[in-house]
Amino acid sequence: MPKKSIIAGNWKMNLTLTEVHDFFQQLSLPPQCPHKIILAPQAPLIPIVTNHVQKLPISVAAQNCSFEKKGAFTGEVSAEVLASLGVEYVILGHSERRQYFAENEDLLSKKIRQCLESKLSVIYCIGETLTERNSGQLQNVLKRQLTCLTEFSQSNQWEQLILAYEPVWAIGTGQVASLEQVQEVHQFIQSTFKDSYPHVNLPPILYGGSVNALNAQDLFTLPAVAGFLVGGASLKPKDFSTILSVQ
């Protein structure tokens, strides 16, 4: 029986309106695809992508949301508005948001709260830099990043949480963690959750470090990997279609 999983494509700040139309013309979904498919375009393109996927088994995600519900926050987009546009998921905690916009666990917990209150599922990203890994800080970093989920562990909205492990040193670099490294870290995250939150179901844990058409099948065979958060390869319809074919 095919392994069911989640495969999400994070388009980041890429693809114009014309390129989005071209993407869907070239995308070829595998027949009877067992995976939950998610695409995360730039915010202005959300209505366009939502229209394209109306008759496709694809859900739409946002790449970010505000930590406030509404008000005088120029340039921000609220979770409530995202939900009204047909968005079902929001990616939070991505390493690029942490690095370039100084987002920390306190801010991210507020954003998670806004999403859950608007009935949006959260793909919460965690991961270490190469310096942190080499200095033996991997486990401490991941534990710290997971602390902002504590307040939601008693919530009936816990099932709306999805985790994505993204080794920062393997994002956009072409480097990929070894299969052994990926399985080891995913198992550590699983055991940390079981110890910290024994009363709740374990969230799916996606892998998000330079997944591509060549390595996806091998990564997918790892028991602890519940799918992928795909970056650059999700911009290429042929490559993304190949990734969706893993089983």
DSSP 203: P
Residue partners of 202: CB distance under 8 A and separation at least 6: 190, 193, 194
Contact call for residues 4 and 34 (beta carbons, < 8 A): yes
Task: Pick the catalytic residue from 94, 96, 103, 186.
Answer: 94
Task: Pick the catalytic residue from 35, 132, 166, 186.
Answer: 166
Q: Is 151 a catalytic residue?
A: no
Contact call for residues 11 and 206 (beta carbons, < 8 A): no
Rg of the chain over Cα atoms, rounded to whole angstroms, equals 17
Place of tokens 């954003």: 111
Q: Is 132 a catalytic residue?
A: no
Place of tokens 């650059």: 232
- The H or E element spanning position 90 is strand 89-92
Alpha-carbon distance of 93 to 70, in angstroms, equals 21
Surface-to-core class of residue 102, CB atoms within 10 Å of its CB (0-12 exposed, 13-18 middle, 19+ buried): exposed
- Chain centroid to CA 164: 5
Alpha-carbon distance of 181 to 167, in angstroms, equals 10
Active site residues: 94, 166
